[in-house]
Structure 1
Amino acid sequence: MADRSFDPDRVLPCGRTDGMLLDFLADSAPVELSEHIPTCRFCQAELAELDSDWAQVRRTASLPIEPPHGLVERTLTAVRGVRGGHGAAPVELDQEGGKLRIAQQAVVLLTRRLCLELLAERPGVHLRGCVGDVDEVRVDLTIRYPLPAPELVEAIHRELTAALQAALGAGTPAVWVRVVDVAPPAIG
């Protein structure tokens, strides 16, 4: 792109603005502008510059992009975890005045939130996924090498189970914590 800055409010000698010409290029300009441009040397010159300036951007935008390895799987796992299965029975907690029903999606979201709070205190450990239902939840982690993965998994499992028991009591699901990826050591 050229070294000139773009100002959409810059007015051309014919009274049109650069912003109006961008609308024209995006096929969202009024008919009057479409009729004006073929007869206006100022608009034609500015459109030529805009076209030249944005040619590299258009070329880059048209390149196919491969998603990072595992992105689709991680996204689907997260969506399944939050969306949950159909027709699963909720957790029922006895309370004064009746029962409290907690949907499995809420159990997964609570587990995710509690896990993120625990991981905030542990640099180099990141949540990759959290799925499950009212019976059990699985937490997937990435741990940076050379952190002691077995000890971290055990501590996170213990603390997460305790936090869920504090929130859900007898309705606490079984908790599974596993390492699904190891990140390279931090540089520097």
Structure 2
Amino acid sequence: MTTGHGSRYRFGERLPCGAVVEDVLAQVADGHAARRNSHQAGCPHCQAALAEYDRLWAPVREVADVAVRPPESPLQAALRRIRGTVHNPTYGVLADDDGQTRIAARVVVVTAREAAQDVPGVRVALSRLHRPGGGSVGQENAVRVGMAGQSTAIVLTVAATYGTDLYELAERIRIAVDEQVRAVTGLEPVAITIDIDDVFAAHSDIALSD
């Protein structure tokens, strides 16, 4: 975790996945934050950004709802905070009157992996950190996270014990990951996607690695 302040925003900036920030913000401003195109449906970066921008845009929306021209101060405050998230694509940011606390995506990756690993029925939960511009560190099975302000979207891949109710297992993993990420980091998991890509017999030996 580190503390600090964001840099100046430049028009045309993109999220780590390549999505244009202005396009995502326009989607939120038009009231369509809950909609997902084919890319956004599987992209934790877009999911986190949509949730965070929607949260930060709420004061502007509230003023607009009472048919009053939005004063400059709420609008500018929302834009400033949204722009600030662009410069921290691999960090979650918690801000208060004393400054900012930045939490690395790697912290969320490890926290989610450890929480999932403790759920009965999970045999393997490995992690991989996707970096802006491509490339990754870790194994094929992964925890992928998108970061935007205090919002994070998580995609977790696991292997399960054969015979386990996989739907119920996924729900238990989601609850465990949500609670642990909130408790450890203070960030808000806005989407937790569980991919179960293999099953193993209960008596089989599996070597776990970081």
- Relative to the length of structure 2, the TM-score reads 0.40
User: Greater strand percent: which structure?
Assistant: 2
* Higher RCO structure (Cα 8 Å, ≥6 apart): 2
Larger Rg: 1
- Relative to the length of structure 1, the TM-score reads 0.44
User: Greater helix percent: which structure?
Assistant: 1
